[in-house]
Amino acid sequence: MNETELKTLAKLIAEETTRELVNFEDVCAMFRYSKGAVAVRKIVTLPDFPKPIKFAEGSGNRWRRQDVSNWIAVKAKRLSSSSNSSNSSILNQGV
């Protein structure tokens, strides 16, 4: 690798490692639900919800806080612009 490629790789690694990761309880809190909420368990399985990061066998899932926040913002925007839709139908639409 040349110096430019090394700098690019170092930048990518730094960005990846500095992103804040959240666990399931944190995701529940982001939705203002109690930890372990069934509704959030359903939400995190939606096809357009950000995919979790798995570190090791038996460890819990982690999500990038910014990815979850962006997903919530998109859904909230759709919900506020759609007066005839219910929450569940908005959540089930793809991003």
Give Cα 21 distance to the centre of its chain: 9
Examine residue 25 and state whether it is found in any structural domain, yes or no.
yes
Residues 53-92: tens digit of each pLDDT: 887 777 788 999 999 999 999 999 888 887 545 555 545 5
Q: How many domains in the chain? A: 1
- The candidate with the shortest Cα–Cα distance to 44, out of 55, 20, 57, 60, is 60
SS3 (DSSP) at 63? strand
pTM for this model (two decimals): 0.65
| pLDDT number for residue 44 | 96
Q: Which amino acid is at 10?
A: A
Examine residue 9 and state whether it is found in any structural domain, yes or no.
no
Examine residue 30 and state whether it is found in any structural domain, yes or no.
yes
* CA 82/CA 95 separation, integer angstroms: 14
Residue numbers of the domain that contains 56 = 21-91
Q: Which amino acid is at 92?
A: N
- What residues form DSSP beta bridges with 63? 22
| pLDDT number for residue 83 | 54
